[in-house]
Amino acid sequence: MTTDGLPSNYQQIAVITEGNVVEVIGVSHSLAHAFLNNPTFIHVPPRQNVNPGCKYIDGKFHCPPEKQVFPESELVYKDVIFVAIAAFNEDDIHQTITTCLTMAKEPNKVHFGVVLHYPEKNFPDLSSYPHTTYINIDDEIGLGTGPTRDLAASMLTEEEYYLQIDAHTVFKKDWDVILKAYYKELKKKYEKPIISTYVPFWYRDKVTDEVMVMGGLGLNHNFVPWALQFKADDKGPESNYLLDGVKTPEVLVVSYDNDPYYEHHLTAGHFLFTSSKFLEEVPFDPNITYHEENTTALRAWTRGYRIFSIKEDVLWTREFHHGKDTADSWRSRSDKAGESGKSFRMMIIEGTLHCKKVLTGELLGIWGAPTKELFDEYELASGSNYQQFYDEMDAEVEKDMNKYYAATELYKLEREQNV
């Protein structure tokens, strides 16, 4: 199935007037949260079809038989994994989908939602892949991770599980049943588990274009997965201050001798597996254009989710710093201006400032922790202190405005907005 426009039915909202349903509309999970702040708009529960003419009484929809239209059996989507992929001028999208299907033990239980962002309109043809929905975008520059991942997630129907990956992934044998087995095991102890971490990488040689694998290992090597930690302070200045403007995650080598999983407090953008209900509770933030890994973790944890790495590695991702970048990647277009007149580089800085407000507890609610108390609990549990990090980064900028690009741009933008 394909669509060139936005899906209209991925989350239903009923418009209520004097207890009567007058209209039913479809919106993204992010917009749904904004609508639901208004009592005129009521979320329609999954697997309940509501139409104009139904009643809304005492918190429940009541529809006469002729108005109740039953969808496909929920069994169609039970145990199915929805794989969300965002691709900007990607060379490896076919490899990603192909290995995802061929290495799955139950490929009939794998569905895809793909955002194909190709400014020159040279869109890959995905029509031959089963259970695949995709959206074509040809904007000049990237939309950012928040809006793009939200579009990919919007194509979810009622699949039970959600898997978020990058468009340059290689899957390992039986990855699907392994993930589901670990998730079900975690569910015995934790109400809302998430499996997420940085995974091993492969890359293309900058000169020969040859496929290279981390550490000279083969893709079939049984790699012991990392967990995640906050990047150490002694590594901060060159990476956090210069490139990111936020204390990004880094790998943590762990042992699985006692348990087949390890709890940590950060998420990876290129590998996140959980129940699809996650998308209703932690919708993608449209204000985040990059570096959503920290904010996603904080927002999820403060809503009851717990984050784990697992003992078995199930996929590898392409890494671009060691190797060759994709042709005409979003990185190569970061200084181009979009329709708004802003460059993607400036959009990243604006998103980084939004991240700061979330990570310091200034912004609470939908895009942050629900309450200050839960924010404080996350900082205590994770050992993080973002306010201290930002204060120290600002102090470094004030010493030398030319040393750290990302930190300096964030510093200037924040003060411009506070004028």
Average pLDDT over residues 168-172: 93
Residue 97 located in a structural domain: yes
Task: Please indicate, yes or no, whether residues 96 and 218 belong to a single structural domain of this protein.
Answer: yes
Domain of residue 83, CATH code: 3.90.550.10
Task: Please indicate, yes or no, whether residues 270 and 163 belong to a single structural domain of this protein.
Answer: yes
**Comparison of pLDDT for 82 and 232, the residue scoring more:** 82
Task: Please indicate, yes or no, whether residues 295 and 158 belong to a single structural domain of this protein.
Answer: yes
Mean pLDDT of the chain: 85
What span, in angstroms and rounded, lies between the C-alpha atoms of 351 and 393?
Answer: 17
Task: Please indicate, yes or no, whether residues 157 and 207 belong to a single structural domain of this protein.
Answer: yes
Task: Please indicate, yes or no, whether residues 84 and 58 belong to a single structural domain of this protein.
Answer: no
Q: How would you classify residue 18: left for phi > 0, otherwise alpha for psi between -120 and 50, otherwise beta?
A: left
**Quick one: pLDDT band at residue 234, thresholds 50, 70, 90?**
low
Q: How confident is the model at residue 236, as a pLDDT?
A: 54
Task: Please indicate, yes or no, whether residues 148 and 261 belong to a single structural domain of this protein.
Answer: yes
CA–CA distances in Å: residue 231 to residues 201, 221, 368, 385: 19, 27, 21, 12
- Is residue 45 classed exposed, middle or buried when 0-12, 13-18 and 19+ CB atoms within 10 A define those classes? exposed
Task: Please indicate, yes or no, whether residues 54 and 99 belong to a single structural domain of this protein.
Answer: no
Residue 403 located in a structural domain: no
Residue 375 located in a structural domain: no
Task: Please indicate, yes or no, whether residues 132 and 269 belong to a single structural domain of this protein.
Answer: yes
Last residue of a domain, one of 257, 287, 318: 318
Q: How confident is the model at residue 5, as a pLDDT?
A: 42
Name beta bridge partners: 15.
23, 41
What span, in angstroms and rounded, lies between the C-alpha atoms of 57 and 17?
Answer: 12
Task: Please indicate, yes or no, whether residues 109 and 60 belong to a single structural domain of this protein.
Answer: no
Q: How many domains does the chain have?
A: 2
Last residue of a domain, one of 71, 100, 116: 71
pLDDT in tens, 332-386: 667 677 677 777 788 888 989 999 999 999 999 999 999 999 999 999 999 999 9
Highest mean pLDDT (candidates 70-84, 159-173, 218-232) = 159-173
Q: How confident is the model at residue 39, as a pLDDT?
A: 64
For residue 239, the Cα-to-chain-centroid distance in whole angstroms is 22
Last residue of a domain, one of 71, 102, 119: 71
- Give the domain extent around 286: 75-318
pLDDT at 139 over 60: yes
372-382 vs 292-301: helix crossing angle, rounded to 10: 110
